[in-house]
Structure 1
Amino acid sequence: MTEIEGIDPSAPPSGPGCTDCDAVGGWWFHLRRCAQCGHVACCDSSPAQHATAHWKSTGHPLVQSFEPGEEWFWNYDTDALYEKGPALAPPAAHPTDQPTPGPSGRVPEDWQRRLHR
C-alpha cells in the first residue's frame, strides 16, 4: 500500500464514542476518527465540535467517518471529501447498537434544536 501523509492505518480508534464528550458527560450527533492518531471525536453538527478542535490543536487534518456503513474521509486543511481511502485499524465504526445521536442516556430530548447547522 502507498503511504499517505497524515494517515496511519495501524492507529486504533481511541474508543467507541467521542472521548472528549465522554470526559465531561456530553453527547454527540455523529463521530469522526482521526486518520493519523485514531482519536474519536464528535462532528461539527454536534454541540462541542471536538473533531475540528482536535485538528486545530494537533494539526491532524484527515478524519474518517466513524459511523457504521460509511467509509469517507474529510481533509480539514483543504475542505476535500474523499469517498474512499485506506482501511484503518478496526473497528471501522462505533458499535451498531450505540444510538445516533449518542450515547444512550445522555442525549437531551431537544437534541435537534442543539445541533450546529
Structure 2
Amino acid sequence: MAGCSHEATIRSVTPKTLGCEECLATGGEWFHLRVCRECGHVGCCDQSPGQHATSHFYETRHPIIEGYDPPEGWGWCFVDEVFVELPDQTPQRGPIPRYY
C-alpha cells in the first residue's frame, strides 16, 4: 500500500480549544478528540455524535489529524486513508473536560 502524500502539510500546532470546538459551542458531547495538524482545530472523533474532526476536513481539506485526547500518538490522512507517522506529539493544554 502506498504511503501518505500529504506529510508536508504537518505542522507543530497549538490546539485552539480545550475540547471539540463545535461541541463546546453547542453543548455537545464527544468520545475522543482529534487535532488538525495543519491549523490546530480540535474536533471530535467519528464515534462521537458530531464527528467534527471529519467535518473539519471536508470544510478545509486539511488532510492530517492526530489522535489527541487521550494522547494516542498516531496521525491519519483523510485523503490517502492511511496512518501517518508524526514527527512529534501535540502537547495537551488541559485540563480537557471528559464526556465518556
TM-score range (shorter-chain normalised) is 0.7 to 0.9
Gaps of 5+ in 2: 1-6
Percentage identity across paired residues of the two chains: 40
Q: Number of matched residues?
A: 94
In the alignment, structure 1 residue 99 sits paired with structure 2 residue 98: yes
In structure 2, relative to structure 1, the CA distance for the partners of 1:58 and 1:25 (3 Å cut) is same
Q: Does 1:8 align with 2:7?
A: no
Higher strand share: 2
Once the two structures are superposed, the pairs formed by residues 1-117 of structure 1 within 5 Å of their partners are 4-9=7-12, 11-82=13-84, 84-91=85-92, 95=95, 98-101=97-100
Q: Which runs of 4+ in 1 moved over 4 A?
A: none
| Root mean square deviation, CA, Å | 1.9
Q: CA deviation at 1:100?
A: 4.8
Q: TM-score, normalised by structure 2?
A: 0.82
**Counterpart Cα distance in 1 of 2:94 and 2:78:** 22
State the TM-score, normalizing by the size of structure 1: 0.71
- Whether the 8 Å CA contact 2:68–2:90 is kept in 1: the answer is no
Q: Equivalents in 2 of 1:54, 1:69: separation in Å?
A: 20
Higher Rg of the two aligned structures: 1
